[in-house]
Chain A
Amino acid sequence: MARALTAAELEELLGAYAIDAVDDDERAQIEAWLDRSPNARRDADELRETASLLAQSDDDVPADLWVRIETHLGDPADLSAGDQGDASTGRGVPPLRLGEVVDLGARRDATPPAARSRRRPWLVGVAAALALIIAVGVGVVAGSRLDDQDQRIDQLAVGMEKRSMERAALAATMQPGARTAELAASDTDPMMAKVVVTPDGHGYFMSDGLPALASGRTYQLWAVMGDAPGSAVVSAGVMGAKPGVMAFTTDAGVTGFVVTEEPSPGVVRSTQPPMLQGRLA
């Protein structure tokens, strides 16, 4: 095990990491760092996207490659490796394990329609019995695939929604007259979240590295209405255990925001001390 890299060294290695030019130990340390730092993750993603623009020239793909891929679409995914690796690079995925190349044209030619029509009658009964067994088997597999499918679609939908919300938040930040509040545990602590409020009362909360809470706990956002001591504090939304970007609406009189940790599904009135707070600028 190599020595632990400093934050400055990790930052310096981000370019080499984005183009797969670091060694395994460095990559492991960088990925652990990226898991803790959304800003660094965004940087790495952008550097990787930049590098991918260097590789846009299309080559002539072999004509039969799609046919080979299509042949394997029904194969079960190999989940034996356990570690699914980094999603963005395919690192840590199982080694190449490709099936034989199947020439579908040749296979079709080998069984001409005339030959199929000359099957003996007793084979029809055997085939029907086999078809029933296969149908039951396919039913079981199909049921399991439908469960998988629901999960896959849910995950994809969450991804799409998250991206659309991030875009809306970014647009709000750039809107004339928008006010922002940087939320931190104290004036001397680093910012952990940002809130932007547009003049028409649309607000977005953007987490910047808030740690995930334990099961049964949730973050809750509160809007501070007014400057006077004892100003009213109203709930602006319950954000879950691992907030990303959340939209809410508020009143023009809002002057700041507070985040507390509460039992799920949130509370009407908090008795908890603020975890984060910040004033709208």
Chain B
Amino acid sequence: MDPEALRSASDANLVVAIGRFRAEALEEVYRRHAGAAFGLAQRILNDRSLAEEIVQEVFLRLWNDPERFDPARGALRSFLLAQVHGRSVDLVRAESARRSREEREARRAVPVDHDLEREVWELTLGEHVRGALTALTDDERSAIELAYFGGHSYREVADILGQPEGTVKSRIRSGLGRMRDVLKDAGLVGAEGPWHEH
């Protein structure tokens, strides 16, 4: 596959090429999505070296098991980010990682800033995502950001916010659901999403 064809290939075609053991296809997927993957892992783990390991693991897993990506269930970018998120949260919740992270945070003496609006400000899709975020109540936003970027379970979020578990659970559900509806109407989620193949 020549470099120009690689650049213009869809994500789905690149995954098929990865299935044929074409390393340059994986490199192109890496070029497109590693930045977001690394950014998410680093945000959750607050540790560059662990974030690098997670990104390395997720891309090697795509190389070894490309058939785990089901294009019917979403875009490749979402698939990769979901894996990065899941593995990062696993690490955060491991007691040793949690301890060292807390120690690092304490040393920095600066609270981790989970400002969703800042997080999405520079995105190409920022305007739409910001619009979707305005559909949330403050309580919904706090619950989602603590769980998603903080790597906390909803029970831990309830503890942190001093709210009942059931309330937090509902707020995450309703908040994400409302965001989904707004982004879906804008054609950013679902079959017409920005990272889907057309």
Across the interface, which residues of A come within 8 angstroms of B169, CB to CB? 12-13, 15-16
Write the B110-125 contact mask toward A (1 if CB under 8 angstroms, else 0). Answer: 0000001001111111
Interface assignment of A90: CB less than 8 Å from any CB of chain B:
yes
Across the interface, which residues of A come within 8 angstroms of B64, CB to CB? 77
Question: Are A58 and B20 also in contact (CB < 8 A) when A48-B82, A77-B64, A166-B191 are?
Answer: no
Report the count of interface residues on B (CB-CB < 8 A).
91
Across the interface, which residues of A come within 8 angstroms of B180, CB to CB? 46-47, 49-50
Across the interface, which residues of A come within 8 angstroms of B23, CB to CB? 70, 73
Main secondary structure of the interface of A (DSSP, over half): helix
Q: In angstroms, how far is the closest chain B Cβ from the Cβ of A147? A: 13
| Partner-binding segment picked from B1-9, B100-108, B145-153 | B145-153
Across the interface, which residues of A come within 8 angstroms of B70, CB to CB? 87, 159
> Judging by beta carbons under 8 Å apart, are B81 and A20 in contact?
no
Main secondary structure of the interface of B (DSSP, over half): helix
> Judging by beta carbons under 8 Å apart, are A46 and B184 in contact?
yes
Q: Report the bound CA distance from A19 to B153 in whole Å.
A: 9
> Judging by beta carbons under 8 Å apart, are A49 and B83 in contact?
no
> Judging by beta carbons under 8 Å apart, are A149 and B176 in contact?
no
Q: In angstroms, how far is the closest chain A Cβ from the Cβ of B41? A: 9
> Judging by beta carbons under 8 Å apart, are A73 and B63 in contact?
yes
Q: Report the bound CA distance from A72 to B153 in whole Å.
A: 33
Q: Report the bound CA distance from A60 to B167 in whole Å.
A: 37
Across the interface, which residues of A come within 8 angstroms of B30, CB to CB? 66, 69
Interface assignment of A132: CB less than 8 Å from any CB of chain B:
no
Q: In angstroms, how far is the closest chain B Cβ from the Cβ of A146? A: 9
Across the interface, which residues of A come within 8 angstroms of B86, CB to CB? 20, 86, 89-91
Across the interface, which residues of B come within 8 angstroms of A70, CB to CB? 23, 27
Interface assignment of A242: CB less than 8 Å from any CB of chain B:
no
Across the interface, which residues of B come within 8 angstroms of A129, CB to CB? none
> Judging by beta carbons under 8 Å apart, are A69 and B59 in contact?
yes
Across the interface, which residues of B come within 8 angstroms of A62, CB to CB? 38, 48, 52
Q: How large is the interface on A (under 10, 10 to 19, 20 to 34, 35 or more residues)?
A: 35 or more
> Judging by beta carbons under 8 Å apart, are B147 and A45 in contact?
no
Residue of B27, B43, B79, B119 with highest tally of chain A CB at under 10 A: B79
8 Å CB interface, B145-183 against A: 147-149, 151-155, 157, 169-170, 172-177, 179-180, 183
| Partner-binding segment picked from A107-115, A150-158, A197-205 | A150-158
> Judging by beta carbons under 8 Å apart, are A153 and B16 in contact?
yes
8 Å CB interface, A131-152 against B: 145, 149, 151-152
Across the interface, which residues of B come within 8 angstroms of A15, CB to CB? 169, 172-177
Interface assignment of A228: CB less than 8 Å from any CB of chain B:
no
Interface residue ranges, B against A (CB under 8 Å): 12, 15-16, 19-21, 23, 26-27, 30, 34-36, 38-40, 42-43, 48, 52-61, 63-75, 77-79, 81-83, 85-87, 89-91, 116, 119-125, 129, 132, 144, 147-149, 151-155, 157, 169-170, 172-177, 179-180, 183-184, 188-191, 193
Q: A15-B174, A58-B36, A152-B19 provided; 5 other pairs, C-beta below 8 A?
A: A19-B147, A50-B179, A54-B120, A61-B55, A153-B19
